[in-house]
Amino acid sequence: KHETGDDSGVVVAPVNLPIHTTNGAAKRVQPGMNIDPRNLDAGNPNPAELLDAGVTWVRFVFKNCDDAQLPGDLSFYETVVYQLRQAGIKVLMVINNESCPGRPTLEEHHRNRNEWQRLSVWQPYLEKFGVRCRTLAERFAATVSAFQIWNEPDLDPAPGYDPTLDPQIYGPLLRKAYQAIKAVSDAKVITAGFVRSTRSEHTLRRLQRWRLSPPFLVCRLSKDSSGQWR
């Protein structure tokens, strides 16, 4: 996929990513596209356009900026997912800070990252995030094929913008999300999501201490020499 901005203006030739199996089975290639159903100007192709592009999967963030709007947001995305599935397109739904408002901010802790990243500071939000994951898994049990717990921004960190969680927070959050989803659906594949970087390599190594059973998949995006995300 090639993104311009935050999930907007997506210009795509389907990207074929081989999925390696461990039992000697043939590799599977499944073209996918990153979309944003909330963006009415760009980045929101209809199912017919997706099929014309050869897309078999779409990936998008479930966005909910206000808890009071959750019922409406659930209905909105339910319609989106239904239309995609009617067209034979599978859905990977991303759950991140845009999906569950109210996470602690650096500003609340005077930009002291060490204080901000204490587990005790995050515990109430982790509980809320788990509940949100379970709600989404229950609502989309029959229609969403996979969930991704995304950790890193599509844009580089900047003053006032650095939502990436360090391992000591992301690990417990990932476990909470995994357990919440699996409690209501055995069929879902759950992936951890990163932008490929030195920081994400460090995070991935540190995550080994939060072992999940069965193992979860990891998706890491990176930019090639032309600046496209892969």
Instruction: Decide: 83 and 48 in contact? Cβ < 8 Å.
Output: no
Q: Does residue 178 lie within any of the structural domains?
A: yes
| Predicted local distance difference test score (pLDDT) of residue 211 | 59
Q: Does residue 1 lie within any of the structural domains?
A: no
Count up the domains in the chain and report the number: 1
Q: Does residue 100 lie within any of the structural domains?
A: yes
Q: Does residue 3 lie within any of the structural domains?
A: no
**pLDDT tens across 76-92, in order?**
999 999 999 999 999 99
How many angstroms from the chain centroid is the CA of residue 33?
Answer: 13
pTM: 0.78
**pLDDT tens across 175-220, in order?**
899 889 989 987 677 777 665 555 556 666 666 665 555 556 666 5
Q: Which domain holds residue 204?
A: 18-221
Q: Does residue 68 lie within any of the structural domains?
A: yes
How many angstroms from the chain centroid is the CA of residue 193?
Answer: 6
* Amino acid, res. 39: N
What Rg, from alpha-carbon coordinates, does the chain have?
17
Distance CA 94, CA 108 (A): 26
Which CATH number does the domain housing residue 162 bear? Answer: 3.20.20.80
Instruction: Decide: 119 and 168 in contact? Cβ < 8 Å.
Output: yes
Helical spans, DSSP H, in the chain:
47-52, 70-86, 113-116, 119-139, 167-182, 198-206
| Predicted local distance difference test score (pLDDT) of residue 200 | 58
Under-70 pLDDT residues of the chain: 1-29, 152-157, 159-163, 187, 193-230
Distance CA 129, CA 102 (A): 9
Distance CA 82, CA 69 (A): 20
Q: Does residue 6 lie within any of the structural domains?
A: no
Q: Which long-range contacts (CB under 8 A, 24 or more apart) does 65-73 make?
A: 65/98, 65/101, 66/101, 67/101, 67/102, 70/135
Q: Does residue 229 lie within any of the structural domains?
A: no
Nearest to 74 by CA among 44, 49, 100, 48: 100
* Amino acid, res. 220: R
Residues in the chain: 230
Nearest to 59 by CA among 9, 94, 11, 17: 94
Distance CA 118, CA 115 (A): 6
